[in-house]
Structure 1
Amino acid sequence: MSFNENKLKILVTGGAGFIGSALVRHIIQHTPHQVVNVDKLTYAGNLLSVASVSEDPRYAFEQVDICDADAIKRVFSVHQPDIVMHLAAESHVDRSISGPADFIQTNIVGTYTLLEQARAYWLKLRDQKKEGFRFHHISTDEVYGDLPHPDEEAGATDSLFSETTPYAPSSPYSASKAASDHLVRAWLRTYALPTLVTNCSNNYGPYHYPEKLIPLTILNALQGKDLPVYGRGQQIRDWLYVEDHVRALLLVATTGKVGETYNIGGHNEKRNLEVVKTICQILEELAPSEMNPNIDSYSCEPGNASSYVELIRHVADRAGHDRRYAIDASKIEQELGWTPKETFESGLRKTVQWVLDNQAWCQAVLAK
């Protein structure tokens, strides 16, 4: 099967979530392929995120829990996908600390269930369809633990996560994702199921769930609320614009080599405090605080803010907080020809503008 010439049917798990919905929209809007969106619709999944493509005849939706083996078996039988792109996961570190059980169930048991049903389906396929089938597992750079921090070690910025970096997860979330990565590779080694794995850095962009750092900062600032920053805000993350990420994901799923792992990063290492301050600067340009009725520009009372940046509040650090993430994306760049299109500054400006233009979506998601 030639992936570049054939119209494929791609099963996307978690297709109503942040990255999953971006992938669904990208496939429908920019390729001839079909999409089967499988999502349980937990708090983080919302069909409003795929509303722009939901009427396309190449799109289908199945509200299914990936832990439900019978339901997943039916989905494979009915839709007969060529590729599985597995994004369904519990993904918020803070939630994993306060309630790890859901992360173990979805990220580990759910991945196992999906692998087994995919394997049973794949074994029944014939000829080119069986040869072309792929199971693409989408994971995170957090499985690698953290890297040396430049404030603590000279030359630290030279160290990056590569595809061969040993796993050292720090949180229940990253540990559950590490376990799912190992399951996917075991199903390749033991059963020859044709799998691929990608590990990405921090994503940001449109339709991002509002509890995450960037959308939370934007929305809180607009509402005149505190902008919480963990500890001193010196933790470093590599930021990847979500549209760049989904381009890479589709490229890996259709042209990547079975059995390989590809790291996907944005080449944008930023300290958390720097990210928050940059958002404040962009908001001052696009929605000036002096014009925002939620910002008391004329108050002299202690604690009141006269600008967005004055809303920043340092709070107790997260338990086990990783110091630094940074991806070496040279493999996917050299082997598959992918590079990010957005700089952090251009992507962040697009993100802030999107939130300003789509506050109704944000409020609807928060209400859910």
Structure 2
Amino acid sequence: MIRRVLVTGGAGFIGSAVCRRLVGRGYHVVCLDKLTYAGNRASLRDVEGESNFCFVEADIADTETVLRLLHDEQLQGIMHLAAETHVDRSIDSPAAFVETNVVGTVRLLDAALAHWRTLPARAREHFRFHHVSTDEVFGDLPFDSGVFTETTPYAPSSPYSASKAASDHFVRAWHETYGLPVVLSNCSNNYGPWHFPEKLIPLTILNAIEGRKLPVYGRGENVRDWLYVDDHAEALEQVMTEGRVGETYLLGGRAERTNLGVVETICDILDGRTPLPDGTPRRLLIEFVTDRPGHDRRYAIDSAKAESELAWRRRETFDSGLARTIDWYLANRWWWEPIRASSYGGERLGRVA
């Protein structure tokens, strides 16, 4: 039974949710994070100081450090969430995404394999390398077609999704070639508290709170399936502990929305919570900007395999999760205001059309 876990990228958005969940459920958690622009130790405030949690600032490509942690902390599993994730940034600087998402993953796999080979037979049987990936590896899904499943062919469109697709393949190769016990998961778009402010939902919430323009790519017609981050963290725990070795599980929220629809809903909720001083409806702040290259039209996930094999169900609807998210940002300026004031303050990279 896995009770001692290394979480890579644990100071990030999804990673910190995983750390908070696992620590609260009694796991011994070692969080490893390089603390690049999207890594924030403040997101771990609720678990810092707990006896079953420790934080290590390091790079997943530092094989020596990872090996030492695996051995010294007697870790029984790795949940690999460390990644460069923002599509816009991957268009500007693809090499950084290859270094972290591909090369970094391969070096982490090497460390995991070396550690796994030293374990007694029973411990080797229970060890897991859980690779956390994205639905973007499957590419563009037409509006009038079905949904992604575990057998959907890979067709990544952006440097980010290409790097994640490559890392998925390397994880499977380490299982097929070397026998490393792996499980994989691909998720739809996450949202919730502690989300880095340059992504669509938190950027829109914060701009709307402050009465700024609300940038939307193209005409806002692109569709995404949305999954509340705590629901995702619960699913990731189940994939790691109950998933079948070598298998992939798709995790989605069954909540498809157009980007414009998401932005409009945020406007309406905030108008009800805290109207702007001059009474301006926030929908009037929406500003369409030039679309980014290779912007996939639609993503949608079929979570039936995870729901049937792992008995997992998302708990939040999109409306309930979004309301919780907005309330969190309204109550936690201490977390996001320093980020907004920094050089990473959160801007979409499109241009005004």
TM-score band by shorter chain is over 0.9
2:85 is matched with 91
Are the aligned partners of 1:90 and 1:173 in contact in 2 as well (CA < 8 Å)? yes
Are the aligned partners of 1:46 and 1:365 in contact in 2 as well (CA < 8 Å)? no
2:121 is matched with 127
Give the distance between the partners of 1:130 and 1:214, measured in 2 at CA. 41
CA RMSD of aligned residues (A): 1.0
Paired residue type of 2:320: S
Give the distance between the partners of 2:77 and 2:5, measured in 1 at CA. 5
Paired residue type of 2:58: V
Q: Does 1:163 align with 2:150?
A: yes
Give the counterpart of 1:34 among 28, 36, 41. 28
SS at match of 1:28: helix
The structural deviation recorded for 1:335 is 0.7
Give the counterpart of 1:17 among 9, 12, 25. 12
Q: Does 1:266 align with 2:273?
A: no
Q: Does 1:282 align with 2:282?
A: no
1:6-25 per-position Cα deviation (integer Å, ceiling 9, x unaligned): xx111000000000000000
1:303 is matched with none
* Identical-pair percentage: 56
2:285 is matched with 311
User: Structure 2: any 5+ residue segments left out of the alignment?
Assistant: 343-353
The structural deviation recorded for 1:128 is 2.0
1:270-297 per-position Cα deviation (integer Å, ceiling 9, x unaligned): 00000000000100111122xx3xxx44
2:315 is matched with 341
1:69-118 per-position Cα deviation (integer Å, ceiling 9, x unaligned): 22222222222210100000000000000111110000000000000000
User: Structure 1: any 5+ residue segments left out of the alignment?
Assistant: 150-155, 298-305
Paired residue type of 1:64: A
The structural deviation recorded for 1:68 is 1.6
Runs of at least 4 residues off by over 2 Å:
364-368
Give the distance between the partners of 2:124 and 2:295, measured in 1 at CA. 43
Are the aligned partners of 1:262 and 1:331 in contact in 2 as well (CA < 8 Å)? yes
Q: Does 1:118 align with 2:112?
A: yes
Give the distance between the partners of 1:43 and 1:188, measured in 2 at CA. 32
Q: Does 1:358 align with 2:301?
A: no
The structural deviation recorded for 1:229 is 0.4
The structural deviation recorded for 1:365 is 2.7
Give the structure-1-normalised TM-score: 0.91
1:116-146 per-position Cα deviation (integer Å, ceiling 9, x unaligned): 0000000000032111100000000000001
Paired residue type of 1:90: E
SS at match of 1:270: strand
Give the distance between the partners of 2:272 and 2:211, measured in 1 at CA. 16
The structural deviation recorded for 1:364 is 2.2
Q: Does 1:68 align with 2:62?
A: yes
Give the distance between the partners of 1:28 and 1:362, measured in 2 at CA. 24
Paired residue type of 2:168: D
Are the aligned partners of 1:263 and 1:331 in contact in 2 as well (CA < 8 Å)? yes
Give the counterpart of 1:331 among 305, 315, 328. 305
SS at match of 1:366: helix
Give the distance between the partners of 1:365 and 1:128, measured in 2 at CA. 45
Paired residue type of 1:45: G
Q: Does 1:191 align with 2:178?
A: yes
2:229 is matched with 242
Give the distance between the partners of 1:220 and 1:261, measured in 2 at CA. 37
Give the structure-2-normalised TM-score: 0.95
Give the distance between the partners of 2:239 and 2:261, measured in 1 at CA. 32
Give the distance between the partners of 1:70 and 1:192, measured in 2 at CA. 22
1:300 is matched with none
SS at match of 1:173: helix
Q: Does 1:230 align with 2:217?
A: yes
SS at match of 1:262: strand
SS at match of 2:225: strand
